[in-house]
Amino acid sequence: MLLGTQRVNSYGHLEIGGCDTTWLADEFGTPLYVLDEAAIRANCRSYRTAFESCYPQNRICYAGKALLTRAICKIVQEEGFNLDVAALGELYTALSAGFPARSINLHGNNKSSEELELAVSKRVGHIVLDNFLEIEMLRSIARKGYRRVNVLVRVTPGIDPHTHKLIRTGQADTKFGFNIRDGAALTAVRQVIAAPELHFKGIHCHVGSQLLETDAQVQAVHIMVKFMHTIRQHTGVTAGELNIGGGLGVRYIESHRPPSFQEYAEAITGELISALNRYKLPYPILVQEPGRSIIGETGTTLYTIGAIKTVPIKSKPGHRTYVAVDGGMSDNPRPQLYDAVYQAILADYADRPAERIVTIAGKHCETDILIWDTLIAEPHTGDILAVQTTGAYNFSMASNYNKFQRPAVVLVNEGQADLIVARESLRDLIRNDRIPDRLKATRRTPAISARYSQPEPIRS
Ligand code: LLP
């Protein structure tokens, strides 16, 4: 499977954005996250066009949690997207890239006063309220700042989508949002409407992520419209915005078949329009927050292959070949967290048939298998392995486990490669590390010092 601008060049190497990946590996080192700018822009445009063709009143916010750097902020802004940020650091990153605050939504299920204060003082476009504590906190911050704040109320539509249990969020039993069924959501909306500091703009939900079917989102749209009707019946207020979050899935492996943007747009807006007509509601602005579907397939991680070992196993075929790479769970924790599956290409022999079944292992002190039993061309130590579809929730979830340095991120386009995040240095790893004064003079425990400070007796 070749994604975005990926192709095999005349040297038989994998090329992305017109750049030979073996050259990228040489130039920037590995592990390396490579982002395909043309593919990001193409996704933004086709997502937008698909929805505009079905339902013109819409606004699309890129979900920064998938991958946020200042260059990405610039690209999504140029493509006419707004931005969804989930916490202080994402908000800070966006503001420092010059992203217009009015085009930002602030999320979070336990927002701090620091987050709310920054959002209010910078006048972010919308704050998505998640719990009763936040309503009170935001009211008092808004009062102090003499600002009326636009808010959405996040609700849980009570839907259980088909996806990994840790990335389902729309079911009733969740930490996110206000429950519609137990009345909490309506109470929250009433409180917001009654608060002079807050401007009730509408409602929000996010049912889950990596959705490969449209049914859960379609059901959610129906429930959300019904809830808009309930709000109007009980308060006389009409929600002007309906935010249905993100969630559309991507191709991690060849057999994944997510709906196309057009199919997704038609399914959602078809249900939206029919439900709005059924409940005789005016058409709200449809807001969305896609993350993975915009950036996921546009990212590739390059690794250098190190040790290769074949071990006997009990089941067929009687052995397994482990191909170890120079990264692992610190640059991609998803296989461990969600049993996520991936596909890889041997970047320096991309023209050779993928005939060898191997298991791609990370180099952490854990069984950090990146891909179990996958087909690639015959691998050798020193080859470059390209793991595909690593654009979303890889760099953004990377860690320093085992004191690994987080990899660099390179943006490629039409033969040009720009470093947009530098590789962490060893010095970065200890930059915030402090030794208290009382530990600075190196002292040994008495037993150890006695043992090591006595000269060894010389035996004749
Ligand atoms: N909006 C809200 C409120 C969200 O919670 C999320 C994702 C999104 C939008 C974007 O969803 P997307 O279009 O990317 O599916 N770390 C997990 C995914 C967690 C998603 C959390 N919320 C993973 O690696 O699969």
**Per-residue pLDDT reduced to its tens digit, 241-287:** 999 999 999 999 999 999 999 999 999 999 999 999 999 999 999 99
Whether residue 295 contacts residue 246, with contact meaning beta carbons closer than 8 Å, is answered with: no
> 222 pLDDT exceeds 60?
yes
Q: Indicate if the pLDDT at residue 443 is higher than 80.
A: no
| Ligand 1: centre distance to CA 56 (Å) | 24
Residue listed under structure tokens 């967290």: 337
Q: How many CA within 13 A on the CB side of residue 405?
A: 18
Mutate to test the pocket of ligand 1, among 292, 341, 390 (most ligand atoms within 8 A of CB): 292
- What's the token pair of residue 303? 């690794």
pLDDT tens-digit map of 25-61: 999 999 999 999 999 999 999 999 999 999 999 999 9
Atom of ligand 1 nearest to the CA of 245: 1
Residue at 164: amino acid letter: H
Q: What is the CA radius of gyration of the chain?
A: 26
Annotated active-site residue 44? The verdict is no
On the question of pLDDT at 3 being above 80, the answer is yes
Question: Ligand 1, closest atom to CA 169?
Answer: 5
Instruction: Name the closest-CA residue to atom 1, ligand 1.
Output: 245
d(CA 400, CA 329): 10
* Spatial separation of the C-alpha atoms in residues 372 and 366, rounded to whole Å: 15
Which residues have CB under 8 Å from 250's CB, separation 6+?
210, 256, 258, 292, 293, 296, 297, 389, 392
d(CA 446, CA 451): 8
| Mean local confidence (pLDDT), 61-69 | 98
% of the chain residues with pLDDT over 90: 90
Pairing of strands 198-204, 149-156: parallel
Quick one: average pLDDT of 365-388?
A: 98
- Say how far residue 205 (Cα) sits from the centre of its chain: 17
* Neighbour tally for 359: CB within 10 Å: 16
- Within 13 Å, how many C-alpha atoms sit on residue 439's CB side? 3
Q: Which residues have CB under 6 Å of ligand 1?
A: 63, 65-66, 84, 107, 167, 169, 206, 209-210, 245-248, 289-293, 334, 338, 392-393
The Cα–Cα gap between 44 and 347 comes to 27
The rounded distance, in Å, linking the Cα atoms of 196 and 198 is 6
Nearest residue (by CA) to ligand 1, atom 19, is: 167
Query: What angle, rounded to 10 degrees, do the helices at 215-235 and 261-278 form?
Result: 30
The per-residue pLDDT for range 146-198, each reduced to its tens digit, is: 789 999 999 999 888 777 777 667 677 889 999 999 999 999 999 999 999 99
pLDDT recorded at residue 343: 98
390: left (phi over 0), alpha (psi -120 to 50) or beta: alpha
Pocket residue to mutate for ligand 1, from 209, 224, 399, most atoms within 8 A of Cβ? 209
Instruction: Tell how far the Cα of 244 is from the centroid of ligand 1, in angstroms.
Output: 12
Active-site position among 44, 61, 73, 365: 365
Q: How many whole angstroms from 292 Cα to the centroid of ligand 1?
A: 7
Token pair 């002190």: residue? 365
Q: How far is CA 7 from the centre of its chain?
A: 25
* Beta-carbon count within 10 A of 285 CB: 16
> What are the contacts of 77-83 at 24+ separation with CB within 8 A?
77/103, 78/41, 79/41, 79/44, 79/45, 79/48, 80/44, 80/48, 81/44, 81/48, 82/125
Separation between Cα atoms, residue 167 and residue 299, nearest integer Å? 20
User: All domains of the chain, ordered by start, with CATH?
Assistant: 107-290 (3.20.20.10)
Q: Pick 172 or 444 by higher pLDDT.
A: 172
Q: Which residues of 136-166 are buried (b: 16+ CB within 10 A; e: fewer)?
A: ebbbebbeeeeeebbbbbbbbbbbbbebeee
As to burial, measured by CB atoms within 10 angstroms (0-12 exposed, 13-18 middle, 19+ buried), residue 435 is: exposed
Atom of ligand 1 nearest to the CA of 66: 14
Q: How many CB atoms lie within 10 A of CB 57?
A: 14
- Alpha carbon of 206 to ligand 1 centroid (Å): 8
CA of 167 to the centre of ligand 1 (A): 7
- How many angstroms separate the alpha carbon of residue 208 from the centre of ligand 1? 7
Query: For residue 174, what pLDDT is reported?
Result: 87
Please report the pLDDT score of residue 38 as a whole number. Answer: 98
| Total number of residues shown for the chain | 460
Q: Residue 16 in contact with residue 34, Cβ under 8 Å? A: yes
- Per-residue pLDDT at 460 exceeds 60: no
- pLDDT for the residue 453: 57
Q: Which atom of ligand 1 is nearest to the CA of 107?
A: 3
Mutate to test the pocket of ligand 1, among 43, 60, 61, 65 (most ligand atoms within 8 A of CB): 65
Alpha helix (H) residue ranges in 86-237: 88-96, 113-121, 132-144, 184-194, 215-235
How much is the average pLDDT of 129-136?
Answer: 98
Q: Report which ligand 1 atom has the smallest distance to the Cα of 247.
A: 15
